[in-house]
Amino acid sequence: MAAKTLFITGASTGIGAATARAAAAAGWNVALFARSEDKLTALADDIGDAALALPGDVTDLASLTDAVSRTTERFGGIDAVYANAGRGLTDRSPEDIKGMVDLNVMGVLYTTHATLPELKKTKGTLVLTGSAAGRKHLSGSIYGATKWFVHGYAGNMAEDMREWGGRCTVIAPGMVDTPFFDEGKPDKLKPEDVAEAVVYAITAPAHAAVREVYLMPQS
């Protein structure tokens, strides 16, 4: 039986890279999409023949569409998609806010648009990175508001995709020790914890739809 394929955005570091390693270890091919070509290529080389490096910008639909074509040409299809790319704010300037909204919202929409035709062929699974910040109100948080969008969109897509046998899952982690933060968070969740949740969602039996996985650090 041919290996299944997972397409991952934001794949070069952190949660995306950990998910690529976990999925490959579980026997999946992984298509790795991110802007950082050097890190992406190094990760793909480390994983081996099951990985395909696809440098590109998730806010560029043409770039995503080309990456999807290259993935299907290499692996024959796409069985799951992990829309993981996202960021927080740095200086809260109008340009910074727009850049974050474009990535966290339009990046998810473009990823879905580019990959959904392939997921329909395989009755596949779409996974989105939400956040604990998308499940509660945080004073003045624009980042949190983008994750509220992701959670709402995931629920809407789950209803849409079930009509043709597909599934949609939102992964909602609390604080994770990744480069998202300027300083390390050694007592919080690890990228590997979130990666395990993604693999759980995409490998669940066909009769079970994992709609949400909510992860919080114990401390």
Give pLDDT tens digits along the chain (219 positions): 689 999 999 999 999 999 999 999 999 999 999 999 999 999 999 999 999 999 999 999 999 999 999 999 999 999 999 999 999 999 999 999 999 999 999 999 999 999 999 999 999 999 999 999 999 999 999 999 999 999 999 999 999 999 999 999 999 999 998 766 667 678 889 999 999 999 999 999 999 999 999 999 998
Cα torsion at 127, 83, 135, 143 (round to 10°)? Answer: 180
pLDDT in tens, 168-195: 999 999 999 876 666 767 888 999 999 9
The pTM assigned to this predicted structure is 0.95
Domain residues for the domain of 196 are 5-215
CA distance 195 to 6: 12
Cα distance from N-terminal residue to C-terminal residue, the chain: 43
Tokens of 172: 């909602």
CA distance 149 to 154: 8
**168 has which bridge partners?**
126
Cβ atoms of 201 and 213 closer than 8 Å: yes
Q: Which residues are catalytic?
A: 143
Cβ atoms of 137 and 157 closer than 8 Å: no
Q: Provide the CATH number for the domain around residue 76.
A: 3.40.50.720
Number of domains in the chain: 1
